[in-house]
Structure 1
């Protein structure tokens, strides 16, 4: 079968229909800022995608701004909230993606904002009562909580969070990079001030994404040097990437229900087989609970054995999985997300299995066979 790719929370293979869209746009090389025919043609392509995305989200086209990806989008939301919107406090958790955590830490170190971290239980759940109590008092606040966690799959109660933010006049930023295109998100149903998306999480190319900025928020350009994106994000637009993003987003939305049904079946089988093979196995967060986690992510807690390189062992057998976020793969401190769940996680070795619509039951069979071979050599203690 070749390599079995089960690390789709890190990135996803390019959808063939998206590749076709990219090839089509390679002949449309005009600069969208140019006023001549070639420029106008490119501009039309960009605006068609903007309108398509905004319609799906229930937003206005003027609320969608294209970026280089989710990290830039999250940075833009955070830095602009503090710099331009008078935010003096950010309420978040210690298990957000580093695209959120690191900018907050940077601003705290510079004395630009204060941060308060919500208490987490051993599953990574937040306490809405605690959030409400914090919001009752204090300075102008931005609540930054992701829709779904990229390592443990937990779904945050965004509707309730949004209601609390509105009640206490706080801004609400949600890192929706893992959820966008996988679960329904509509700004008419739930109030958000900032949302983010990255194309390569939904079978699009790397290097393109968008940020949703609620109309009425007076933010200044995050990147200086030009008037693109209605003077909010300088730089010549990535027309090929934008059109690819639009196609990927459209496909993901239109086929969401059938993709979810297929992937949930794969995830359920892996959960059952892992429990059969590995005594004492657990799952980090809520990832094994289908109604409380993103259906594409499963974070397995393997009891530690003589083999402390399970992901490497899988790789040697042609199975691509991870120990957590690809953005922290070079860290020697392990996963900050798992540390945030408590000391109990130190007794377990993490393997994140993340699925896409291109995975099949044969992929799951390959993973299970590899796991059986690994545990035949290094059984659990």
Structure 2
């Protein structure tokens, strides 16, 4: 049996999405900026997709900007807000468990002279609200906190964070990449100024995402050239992928509740099955403030590289954390921030599920982990 359990890294493109994209590739190939009928036809598909995505995220169509994905969106948001608002202050706030497409940008801004506060998290991966409140000053111009952590699945208390930030003049950016398809996202339900998402995390194609910007937000847009996206992001729009993005978001929202029930059942089965087999492990993160699709476990009897290799030999495909840091020997910055322990991080594995997975696949994973444990137990 082959089992892919790395869905937090990426998901397969859904058949319905491929069908929508294929029709556009084959029949509606025009440049949406062209004024002739072929271009206007492509423009119709672009506009329809933008309306559909805006509706699915609780945003206005004017607030949706298409990008190459979350990395571009996060970079645009953080740099764009920092540079455009530097005259108001020099202080930025984020957390120690953000994705590297956020953290590396803040580190660069720090080198450029900005003052950055990196918030601590507790053992469940939740930021400390009192620390956030204490860190806010009149100089604070931006707070950036991810909605759902990509390595442990912890859901941050967005309403509480929003209440703190909204009392200040700071702008609020949210990386919502791992939240879409698992939580209801309503952009205007929060006082969020900018938000990033990417399609390939919920059955859409890679290379397409969105940057949601509240109307009236003061921000610089770095990509110059044509007048696409209302002069905010130059470059010919990738209409087939945008159409696929819209379809994937529609499907994710339509089936979210049923999928969440399935994911929680798989998560519980996974943990109970390991316990029944007496495999020693500890859960990394929160059992309550988390989504069902990410399970990060500490296995004290084996290092992560050996575990990943042995699982791969059993045709089980998982990861040690973010796919963006694959191939590095650095311990997970998320787990180090949560536990202050590199050894724990170097013995932890992330399993991530989606609605296509079956109970049979979960049982196969636990059976193979049980075999690995007994192999190491006998050798030691």
Aligned to 1:146: 146
Q: Quickly say closer, same or farther: Cα 1:308–1:80, change in 2 above 3 A.
A: closer
- Structure 1 residue corresponding to 2:101, chosen from 96, 99, 102: 99
Unaligned runs of 5+ in 1: none
Aligned to 1:215: 215
Aligned to 1:212, the other structure's residue is in SS state strand
Taking the TM superposition and a 5 Å limit, the aligned residue runs for 1:14-29 are 14-27=13-26, 28-29=28-29
How many residues of Structure 1 are paired with residues of Structure 2 in the alignment?
375
Determine if the alignment matches structure 1 residue 369 to structure 2 residue 367.
yes
Superposed CA deviations along residues 324-361 of structure 1, whole A, max 9, x for unmatched, are 11101122212111111233451461111100111111
Determine if the alignment matches structure 1 residue 234 to structure 2 residue 234.
yes
Aligned to 1:91, the other structure's residue is in SS state strand
CA contact (8 A) 1:299 1:353 kept: yes
CA contact (8 A) 1:323 1:352 kept: yes
Cα deviation for residue 307 of structure 1 reads 8.0
CA distance in structure 2 between the partners assigned to 1:267 and 1:305 by the alignment: 22
Aligned to 2:257: 257
Aligned to 1:110: 112
Residues 119-128 or 33-42, more deviating: 119-128
Determine if the alignment matches structure 1 residue 309 to structure 2 residue 306.
yes
Unaligned runs of 5+ in 2: none
Normalised TM-score (structure 1): 0.95
Aligned to 2:65, the other structure's residue is in SS state strand
CA distance in structure 2 between the partners assigned to 1:47 and 1:181 by the alignment: 22
Superposed CA deviations along residues 72-112 of structure 1, whole A, max 9, x for unmatched, are 0111100100111335221111110001000110111122x
CA distance in structure 1 between the partners assigned to 2:366 and 2:347 by the alignment: 17
CA contact (8 A) 1:221 1:234 kept: no
Taking the TM superposition and a 5 Å limit, the aligned residue runs for 1:311-350 are 311-344=308-341, 346-347=343-344, 349-350=347-348
CA distance in structure 1 between the partners assigned to 2:303 and 2:255 by the alignment: 43
Q: Quickly say closer, same or farther: Cα 1:362–1:125, change in 2 above 3 A.
A: same
Residues 91-100 or 123-132, more deviating: 123-132
CA distance in structure 2 between the partners assigned to 1:88 and 1:30 by the alignment: 44
Aligned to 2:134: 133
Determine if the alignment matches structure 1 residue 123 to structure 2 residue 121.
no
Cα deviation for residue 159 of structure 1 reads 0.9
Taking the TM superposition and a 5 Å limit, the aligned residue runs for 1:170-319 are 170-286=170-286, 289=287, 291-305=288-302, 309-319=306-316
Residues 270-279 or 231-240, more deviating: 270-279
Aligned to 1:77: 77
- Give runs of ≥4 in structure 1 deviating > 6 Å: none
Normalised TM-score (structure 2): 0.95
CA contact (8 A) 2:279 2:373 kept: no
CA distance in structure 2 between the partners assigned to 1:130 and 1:207 by the alignment: 36
Q: Quickly say closer, same or farther: Cα 1:342–1:61, change in 2 above 3 A.
A: same
